[in-house]
Amino acid sequence: MPSTVALTVARYRPERESEPTFQTYEIPFRKDWVVLDALNHVKDELDGSLSFRWSCRMGVCGSCGMKVNGTPKLTCATFLSDYVPAPIRVEPLDYFPVVRDLVVDLTDFMRKLKQVKPWIIRTEEKPPAEGEYLQTPDQLDTYKQFSMCINCMLCYSACPIYGLEPSFIGPAAIALAQRYNMDSRDEGAAERLKILSEHDGIWQCTFVGECTKVCPKHVDPAGAIQQYKLTGATRWVKSLLLPWGTR
Amino acid sequence: MSAEPHYTLYHPRWYRRRVSVWWWLQNRSYTWFVLRELTSVFVAFFAVVYLWQLRALAQGPEAYGLFLLRLKTPLFLALDTVAFLFVLFHAITWFHLTPKAMVFQVRGKRVPDWVIVGSNYAAWLVLSGAVAFTLLRG
Amino acid sequence: MDLSSCDVLVVGGGGAGLRAAIAVAETHPRLRVAVISKVYPMRSHTVSAEGGAAAVIKAEDSLDEHAYDTISGGDWLCDQDAVEAFVREAPEEMLRLEHWGCPWNRERDGHIAVRPFGGMKVERTWFAADKTGFHLLHTLFQTTLKYDAIQRYDEFFVTKLLVGEGRCQGVVAIELSTGQVRAITANAVILCTGGCGKIFPFTTNASIKNGDGMALAYRAGAPLKDMEFVQYHPTGLPFTGILITEAARSEGGWLLNKDGYRYLQDYELGTPTPKPVFRSMELGPRDRLSQCFVKEQEKGRTLEGPYGHYVHLDIRHLGEKLIDKKLPFVRELCLKYVGIDPVKEMIPVRPVVHYMMGGIHTDIHGATPLKGLYAAGEAACVSINGANRLGSNSLTEILVFGARAGKAAAAFAAEQAGASPSLVAQAHDEQRRIEERFLRKSGGKERIATLRAEMHQIMEESAGIYRTETVLKEAAGKLKRLQERFQDLSLDDRSYTFNTELTAALELSYMLDVAQTIVHSALERRESRGSHQRTDYPQRDDERFLAHSLAYRAEEGSPRIAYRPVTITRWPPGKRVYGR
């Protein structure tokens, strides 16, 4: 194993340059280091002006998503040893506007998340004092997978549709909508379907499937969207055949 | 073209990368995806040939004979082969994607993916068998 | 100066902050409430909590049992009126979260499932596999989205509290995306900024946990309470400090020394049994278990690896099925970060800094002595955790006291008139300070990383699991010198847009302040209690120290320590007994 590794990092300093450049740092190679450790080494020891987001360093806060050698990754869960002796190239996530260096703007996702109403919708709410809504382990299993999304944005960065049609609501937000639809305590599926059947919703997805592949938490947003399409199509056919029955 | 706007204090100056026309060549799965989308053209091709066949049939035995002769030209044989391969690709990829879209629950447990994919193949075999039986019997 | 305003301003978007914001929106729908956070709320460190949240729900349990476990676990330093309120309101808060969609694990019949936890006499810990904090935070965050009254300032770094006419009236903050310094005025401010584990080198805490809120309150004149009590979690992964949840032990995991011996039996923690027994052995409290590790290390019975001494956590006998159902994250983390599969191999673990029992002094409603300023969560000290927090009480605490602080702050804000005009001048001064001290400063030779590393070393040596007078005294002097050297700091980055070196510098200055309060409080408490163990004063001394320490910021910079009595209602101080 080599003792050092070349880490090439995308830099973008909006106050002095109009487009990104690349800068290469020579960093020590350690077997236990993840890409994020290497970035922190740069920031602490070599160049304090490198900007990136990070927090938990255990793959659950979703802050440190970046492109490593072309693939969207959580840098806190991507080991240098998976790449060396080859050089490592770190870039900001694709399809989001770059604010600075490796930091991208997430305003668009935050707006879309709210748009899909990711909260429990019920016609009648039971006061907490009356106890829990019952939910069997099997009912929990039907949506649990979709509730594991950490909002790391890797799926958006892997989705060429989002790149081409930025208005597309996108994988994570739709998966979260589906998470609530499938929750036995929720009654908001019809309300969400109305929003998601619109132009920017599920039908924009052409099932590239990359979102599911890059998801670090195995949420399977592609699956969520296809299931959603099936529900949407079934409802549409039903409304054609039985216009009085779906009200 | 005007020059890039300069930085203004306290105003974000985002950099937006443009998506390249060749994005689908950037990684293999994107390429497979675009190929899969392309299969629709060949599915349509078979449909058009079928309509053409119906038209020839309606025009009488002579026209139908001519139609069959045309199908046997090398150009059509080549086209048919390519189209067949694409349709095969289409069928297989979609068979494997079915369990993503259709989640069945039996007694509260999710039916495993291989069962759904397998039943697609089984249905395909049965239908193909039925067609072969009908054709070969005569 | 860009000036905006709201009625209640919540600083911090973790569990406590979001719960507080919802409480404001629900009890006072006409008030404008804003959440300001240096990260997007779902990045907050609540997300990393694993094991669960305690609340009495089962018929065989009782509020008194929960209160007793908490108070004895805290070595009688808890305020018992606060504990009583806490256990009483806990079940309803947890049910509310269930109604908001939290995917709690269930019994077969659909009722909430509970698991045992360290120091608890009954099973009362609600859990969502071993990602309870993650689910709790996302449920809360997604629920806040439905309230239009809740406004958010995402990625705004608070640098100062605005205090005018004797009350807190807002904050000054840097908008990270632009670097603009802005003033946000409010009739009440709630600090929910979490703890400060990053003062120590080896911690489960995320990089954002720098004691921001504690330092902000301290600088504004509010005291920090019981800062000497730092919780070491007994089971962290070496090198990364990643937490292996206590649930691994409560489900039946064993702690083994290098001879494969369950060493806890040698330290008055009971006798080993194959099945876990409440308040015994591996289900003992965290302070005791971490102290046992040190003693075991002194006896030479720990293992040694590239990142120091460690022992083994063995969960192999639980079987793959149970591990995948109840501890999937433990397996994921071990596979990813240690390259071992806990189904087949033992997990290397060692004590790691995890939680601050101390924090901003508040009353039972989350109010600090500074009018208009409230605090909740790990940033605050109510206190229900005393000298040692029990596992699974902190997630419940952020809900109960987040809600309480939200309601109290809303009621206070509703009574206030507008902001005083002097605030704008204060905000301008703050902007000038940041420019002159950091962005346009010439000269200076110190680097952030150097000072931070030295602080880490001082804290680990002096304020670790065992402490002594001489080392603490030395540490106090060293920290003071570090404070001076901090004035000589120089940044590489002088730009405005997303300047994370500037925020790291400000965070370091917060940590240095808080570190001083920890060391000084520890120095003054000449007894051993809970997580504060003095080798020179090994006994608990109720006569002198059945009291909360309060660290005030003195003029010359070093903290001044005072004391206030502990509230005792029904449980007079007794001996902490485990394993019997």
| pLDDT tens digit sequence for B63-91 | 999 999 999 999 999 999 999 999 999 99
Query: How far C507 CA lies from chain A's nearest CA (Å)?
Result: 13
**How much is the pLDDT for B6?**
86
**How much is the pLDDT for A51?**
98
**How much is the pLDDT for B138?**
66
Among residues C249, C456, C520, C534, the one annotated as catalytic is C249
d(CA C347, CA C341): 8
Secondary structure of residue C62 in the 3-state scheme: coil
Q: Residues spanned by CATH 3.10.20.30 within chain A? A: 4-104
Q: Looking at the partner chain, which of A19, A70, A206 has a beta carbon nearest the beta carbon of B15?
A: A19
Tell me, yes or no, if A41 comes closer than 8 A to chain C by beta carbon.
Answer: no
Query: How far B86 CA lies from chain A's nearest CA (Å)?
Result: 17
Task: Enumerate the H helices of B1-112 as residue ranges.
Answer: 28-59, 61-71, 74-101
Mean pLDDT of C480-502: 97
Do C340 and C156 form a contact (C-beta atoms < 8 A)? Answer: no
Do C99 and A133 form a contact (C-beta atoms < 8 A)? Answer: yes
Dihedral sign for Cα atoms in the order C433, C434, C437, C441: negative
Residue B12 lies in a domain: no
Inter-chain touch A16–B110, beta carbons under 8 Å: no
Instruction: Tell me which residue of C468, C480, C473, C394 sits closest to C204, measured CA to CA.
Output: C394
Q: Which chains touch B (3 or more CB pairs under 8 A)?
A: A, C
**Closest chain C residue to A47 measured between Cα atoms?**
C492
User: Which of A31, A53, A191 to probe the C interface (max C CBs under 10 A)?
Assistant: A53
Does the structure show a pLDDT above 50 at C214?
yes
Residue B100 lies in a domain: yes
CB-based contacts of C420: which residues, under 8 Å, 6+ apart?
C164, C165, C169
From chain A, the residues in CB contact with C208 under 8 A are 55
Do C105 and C51 form a contact (C-beta atoms < 8 A)? Answer: no
Q: How far apart are the first and last CA of chain A?
A: 66
Do C40 and C154 form a contact (C-beta atoms < 8 A)? Answer: yes
- Does residue A85 have a cis peptide bond before it, meaning omega lies within 30 degrees of 0? yes
Q: Which residues constitute the domain of residue B108?
A: 23-133
Class of domain A107-241: mainly alpha
Query: How far B116 CA lies from chain A's nearest CA (Å)?
Result: 14
**How much is the pLDDT for B38?**
93
| pLDDT bracket for residue B5 (50, 70, 90) | low
**How much is the pLDDT for B103?**
78
**How much is the pLDDT for C12?**
98
Interface size B-C, in CB pairs within 8 Å, comes to 10
From chain C, the residues in CB contact with B12 under 8 A are 177-178, 497
Mean pLDDT of C38-56: 97
Instruction: Tell me which residue of A18, C178, A100, A16 sits closest to B4, measured CA to CA.
Output: A18
Q: Residues spanned by CATH 1.10.1060.10 within chain A? A: 107-241
Amino acid at C296: E
Mean pLDDT of C513-530: 98
User: Which of A102, A138, A179, A228 to probe the B interface (max B CBs under 10 A)?
Assistant: A138
Domain with residue B49: its CATH number is 1.20.1300.10
**Closest chain C residue to A61 measured between Cα atoms?**
C43
DSSP assignments along A33-78, one per residue: -BHHHHHHHIIIII-TT-------SSSSS---EEEETTEEEEGGG-
**How much is the pLDDT for C418?**
77
CB-based contacts of C199: which residues, under 8 Å, 6+ apart?
C210, C211, C455, C456, C459, C511, C514, C515, C518
Tens-place pLDDT, residues C271-325: 999 999 999 999 999 999 999 999 999 999 999 999 999 999 999 999 999 999 9
Mean pLDDT of B114-133: 93
Q: Which residue has the tokens 């808060």?
A: C93
Secondary structure of residue A162 in the 3-state scheme: helix
d(CA C57, CA A196): 38
How are beta strands C559-565 and C114-115 bridged, if at all?
unpaired
Dihedral sign for Cα atoms in the order C385, C391, C393, C395: positive
Does the structure show a pLDDT above 60 at C374?
yes
CA dihedral C350, C351, C353, C356 (to 10 degrees): 150
Secondary structure of residue C184 in the 3-state scheme: strand
Does the structure show a pLDDT above 90 at C417?
no
Q: Which of B27-36, C143-152, C202-211, C508-517 has the lowest mean pLDDT?
A: B27-36
d(CA C134, CA C516): 32
From chain A, the residues in CB contact with B17 under 8 A are 94-95, 98
Inter-chain touch B10–C178, beta carbons under 8 Å: yes
CB-based contacts of C366: which residues, under 8 Å, 6+ apart?
C20, C190, C374, C375, C376, C380, C382, C401, C404, C405, C406, C408, C409
Mean pLDDT of C228-256: 96
The residue ranges of chain A whose pLDDT is under 50 are 246-247
Domains of chain B: total: 1
Query: How far C563 CA lies from chain B's nearest CA (Å)?
Result: 46
Buried b / exposed e across C526-540, counting CB within 10 Å, b at 16+? ebbbbbbbbeebeeb
Q: Name the token pair of A201.
A: 């919703």
The CATH label, of 3.50.50.60, 3.10.20.30, 3.30.1120.10, 1.10.3720.10, for the domain at A4-104 is: 3.10.20.30
Tell me, yes or no, if B12 comes closer than 8 A to chain C by beta carbon.
Answer: yes
d(CA C515, CA C457): 12
Does the structure show a pLDDT above 80 at C353?
yes
d(CA C22, CA C3): 24
From chain B, the residues in CB contact with A97 under 8 A are 14-16
Percent of chain B with pLDDT over 70: 95
Tens-place pLDDT, residues A157-168: 999 999 999 999
**Closest chain C residue to A132 measured between Cα atoms?**
C95
Does the structure show a pLDDT above 70 at B1?
no
C233 is catalytic: yes
Residue B125 lies in a domain: yes
Q: Which residue has the tokens 């038209």?
A: B55
Q: Name the token pair of B134.
A: 């009908």
**How much is the pLDDT for B100?**
80
Does the structure show a pLDDT above 80 at B126?
yes
Mean pLDDT of C491-511: 97
Q: Which of C2-6, C145-149, C339-343 has the lowest mean pLDDT?
A: C2-6
Inter-chain touch C48–A61, beta carbons under 8 Å: yes
Do A14 and B7 form a contact (C-beta atoms < 8 A)? Answer: yes
Inter-chain touch C108–A150, beta carbons under 8 Å: no
Do C114 and C126 form a contact (C-beta atoms < 8 A)? Answer: yes
C-alpha distances (whole Å) from A104 to each of A99, C154, C157, C337 are 5, 14, 17, 27
**How much is the pLDDT for B4?**
59
Do A232 and A197 form a contact (C-beta atoms < 8 A)? Answer: yes
Tell me, yes or no, if B9 comes closer than 8 A to chain C by beta carbon.
Answer: yes
DSSP assignments along C514-553, one per residue: HHHHHHHHHHH--S-BTTBEETTB-S--HHHHSEEEEEEE
**How much is the pLDDT for C119?**
93
**How much is the pLDDT for A245?**
56
Query: How far B49 CA lies from chain C's nearest CA (Å)?
Result: 53
User: Which of B9, B10, B19, B20 to probe the A interface (max A CBs under 10 A)?
Assistant: B19
From chain C, the residues in CB contact with A58 under 8 A are 48, 240, 242-243, 333, 337
**How much is the pLDDT for B2?**
45
User: Which of B6, B8, B10, B14 to probe the C interface (max C CBs under 10 A)?
Assistant: B10
C12, burial (CB in 10 Å: exposed 0-12, middle 13-18, buried 19+) = buried
